[in-house]
């Protein structure tokens, strides 16, 4: 039964948290960027500060200031000041423009009598008091925020945020790849490995469900297989009885038809039993150092040399294999090559692989009807025959190649099929050499 995912472990919850964090961080960085670029101070405080500074200056120097006092306060504040009254104009720095010039482009007001004016990119704080008393304080370069620095900082923050988002999403959806690999293995009929995802979210419970489903399917297949084997076994006795009873039927036509049918059933039963018996033999313990060339020569010797022609570049090649099973592989492929090519000669070539000298290839090539490209994968499935009606005349139950595939996998070998419909088919089996301590 599928476990219900707790909300706090769910992917949905993780995504919500992730997006909230992301939105908050993006807002903070956008706020930071704009507040600095607009010179408004990060949280809108700094525009009040110059008013306070100007008020402080007025308080210190009075409404009728003398220049000595102004100079002292300029030093104290480490800032430049321009003062304009109806009687005097005084500036600690000649480059500070006068009010008539500046007030042409005041860009915003900070209070009724205070302005910030930008001149050639430099802001000036202006405070007007009664009786035409004006103080202008330029923002010192040390107080200016460097816009390039802010942009670089924002780019870095966004890059970090985007990477954080990317790695978080990768972590959340990471197990999907494991899931799809696991499901692909199951669809190929491999029921031995569990999908291992140690998570409490939906993906964790999905992997648990897939593992459970895989185990159930595997059990079902096993019990169907054992039913098939039992039924096949049980069919042998009635078949023998039919064969015996058939001997007493005098009508030759009926007698031979029954004999043909019984023969066909016996073949099917023995193929089925052979296949499953072979699959269930403990493969590891029976493997041994075997000379593959000798083994193939032995198989080929059972066929007519006019039909099965052997060519070998190699005299000896040890492999780690179970002889009986490997013989079955070559028997099945050579039988097929003869069956599906109307008795045309079949060529067997043994050679070392060009990329890796430690791998031997056995090629079985026929000039038969060939196999369509999209059928090649299917011919290794149990009971699969390409064209059941056309191949009815050719005896077989589609079990041979499924057994071949299993044996090849057990031996860590490879099988490749190259075919051109109407021209012929080539099966190539590649097996690694036997190495004493590392078979
Ligand atoms: P079968 O008992 O039907 O021969 P196999 O598992 O050996 O079962 O082969 C499966 C199917 O693959 C065959 O029914 C046939 O359609 C196709 N096949 C196998 N070998 C060849 C070949 N050499 N040329 C053409 N078709 C082939």
Model confidence band, residue 285 (pLDDT cutoffs 50, 70, 90): low
Answer yes or no: is the C-beta of 300 below 6 A from any ligand 1 atom: no
Angle of CA points 132, 133, 137, to nearest 5°: 130
Query: What separation in Å is there between the alpha carbon of 348 and the centre of ligand 1?
Result: 18
Do the bridges between strand 424-432 and strand 359-365 make them parallel or antiparallel, or are there none, so unpaired?
A: antiparallel
The CA–CA distances, whole Å, from 209 to 6, 13, 57, 102, 239 equal 16, 21, 77, 75, 44
Placement of tokens 């079949």 in the chain: 346
351: number of CA atoms within 13 Å, CB side? 10
Quick check: 44 pLDDT over 60? no
Please tell me if the CB atom of residue 366 comes closer than 6 angstroms to any atom of ligand 1. yes
**pLDDT tens per residue across span 350-366:** 999 988 889 999 999 99
Per-residue confidence at 42, pLDDT binned at 50, 70, 90?
Answer: very low
pLDDT in tens, 366-423: 999 899 999 998 999 888 888 766 556 777 788 889 889 988 988 889 999 999 999 9
Is 271 near ligand 1, meaning CB less than 6 Å away?
no
Listed in sequence order, the residues at least 6 apart from 339 whose beta carbon sits closer than 8 Å to its beta carbon are 394, 396
How far, in Å, CA of 59 to CA of 326, rounded?
Answer: 106
Helices (H), 174-201: 175-187
pTM of model > 0.85? no
- Cβ atoms < 10 Å from Cβ of 148: 8
Report, as an integer, the average pLDDT of 49-69.
80
Residue 105, pLDDT > 70, answer: no
Identify the residue whose C-alpha is closest to ligand 1 atom 14. Answer: 385
Do 364 and 417 meet the contact criterion of CB atoms below 8 Å apart? no
Q: What is the mean pLDDT of residues 336-344?
A: 90
Residue 371 Cα to ligand 1 middle (Å):
9
What is the whole-number distance in angstroms between the Cα of residue 92 and the centre of ligand 1? Answer: 102
Q: Taken in order 288, 290, 292, 297, is the CA torsion positive or negative?
A: negative
Report CA(418)–ligand 1 centroid distance (Å). 14
β-strand pairing of 288-291 with 318-321? antiparallel
Q: Reduce the DSSP state of residue 67 to 3 states and report it.
A: helix
Where do we find the tokens 């007007």?
128
Is residue 398 in contact with ligand 1, taking CB distance under 6 Å? yes
Tally Cβ neighbours within 10 Å of residue 7: 8
Is residue 345 over pLDDT 90?
yes
């Amino acid at each position: 039964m599928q476990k219900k995912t707790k909300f706090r472990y769910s992917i949905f919850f993780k995504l919500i948290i992730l997006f909230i964090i992301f939105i908050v961080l993006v807002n903070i960085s956008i706020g930071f960027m704009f507040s600095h670029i607009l010179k408004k101070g990060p949280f809108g405080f700094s525009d009040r500060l110059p008013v306070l500074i100007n008020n402080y200056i007025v308080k210190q120097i009075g409404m009728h200031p003398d220049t000595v006092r102004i100079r002292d306060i300029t030093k104290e504040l480490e800032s430049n000041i321009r003062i304009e009254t109806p009687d005097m104009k005084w500036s600690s720095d000649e480059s500070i423009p006068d009010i008539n010039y500046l007030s042409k482009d005041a860009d915003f007001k900070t209070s009724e009598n205070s302005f910030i004016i930008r001149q050639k990119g430099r802001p000036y704080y202006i405070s007007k008091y009664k009786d035409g008393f004006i103080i202008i304080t330029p923002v010192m370069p040390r107080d200016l925020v460097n816009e390039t620095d802010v942009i670089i900082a924002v780019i870095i923050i966004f890059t970090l945020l985007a990477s954080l988002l990317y790695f978080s999403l990768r972590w959340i959806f990471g197990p999907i790849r494991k899931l799809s690999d696991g499901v692909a293995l199951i669809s190929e009929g491999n029921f031995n490995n569990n999908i291992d995802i140690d998570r409490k979210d939906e993906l964790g419970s999905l992997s648990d469900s897939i593992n459970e489903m895989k185990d159930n399917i595997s059990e079902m297949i096993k019990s169907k297989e054992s039913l098939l084997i039992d039924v096949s076994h049980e069919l042998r006795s009635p078949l023998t009885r039919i064969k015996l009873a058939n001997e007493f039927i005098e009508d030759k036509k009926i007698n031979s038809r029954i004999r043909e049918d019984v023969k066909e059933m016996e073949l099917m039963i023995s193929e089925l039993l052979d296949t499953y018996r072979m699959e269930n033999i403990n493969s590891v313990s029976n493997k041994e150092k075997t000379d593959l060339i000798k083994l193939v020569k032995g198989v080929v010797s059972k066929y007519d040399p006019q039909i099965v022609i052997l060519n070998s570049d190699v005299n000896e090649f040890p492999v780690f294999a179970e002889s009986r099973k490997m013989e079955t592989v070559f028997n099945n492929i050579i039988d097929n090559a003869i069956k599906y090519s109307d008795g045309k000669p079949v060529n067997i070539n043994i050679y070392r692989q060009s990329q890796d000298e430690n791998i031997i290839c056995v090629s079985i090539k026929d000039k038969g009807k060939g196999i369509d490209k999209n059928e090649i994968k299917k011919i290794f499935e149990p009971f699969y025959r390409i064209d059941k009606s056309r191949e009815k005349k050719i005896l077989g139950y589609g079990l041979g190649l499924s057994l071949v595939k299993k044996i090849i996998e057990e031996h860590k070998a490879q099988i490749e099929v190259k075919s051109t419909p109407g021209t012929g088919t080539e099966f190539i089996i590649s097996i690694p050499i036997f190495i004493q301590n590392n078979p």
